[in-house]
Amino acid sequence: MRLAMENKVFDLNEIKKIYDSLGQIPPIIDKVNKSDANFVQRLKDENRQVISDWINKDDVATHKMSWATEDNHVVVYPNVQEIDGRLEDFSRPPYDKWAGYRNAVQRGDTIHMTP
């Protein structure tokens, strides 16, 4: 995963193809692919919505993934979330730094991983 990110390969399907070509799929990719979380379904959608990044208006954002630890496991969640059919960036003001986490947990838009 680190190698994919270092080479600016962020598309989940592309990362999966790379691992498939090596004859292996890491457990994290398998778990993400099997998830029904909204953010995962949006990751798989080649025509997914984008919004302007609030820090750099020339860039776009689709997910802004993050993670937190909770009861001996990791919770993976998006800061950009689909709310009522539109994208909302919980990493921008006036939201606090945990707004995306709280909203994702409340909506079930998370994946729980064990270390």
Q: What is the pLDDT of residues 76-102, one digit of tens each?
A: 999 999 999 999 999 999 999 999 999
With a cut of 60, say whether residue 28 has pLDDT above it. yes
With a cut of 70, say whether residue 67 has pLDDT above it. yes
Neighbours of 94 (CB within 10 A): 5
* Nearest-angstrom CA–CA distance, 67 and 69: 7
Q: Which of 104, 111, 115 is nearest to 31 (CA)?
A: 111
- pLDDT computed for residue 30 by the predictor: 74
DSSP 38: H
DSSP 102: H
* Nearest-angstrom CA–CA distance, 17 and 67: 24
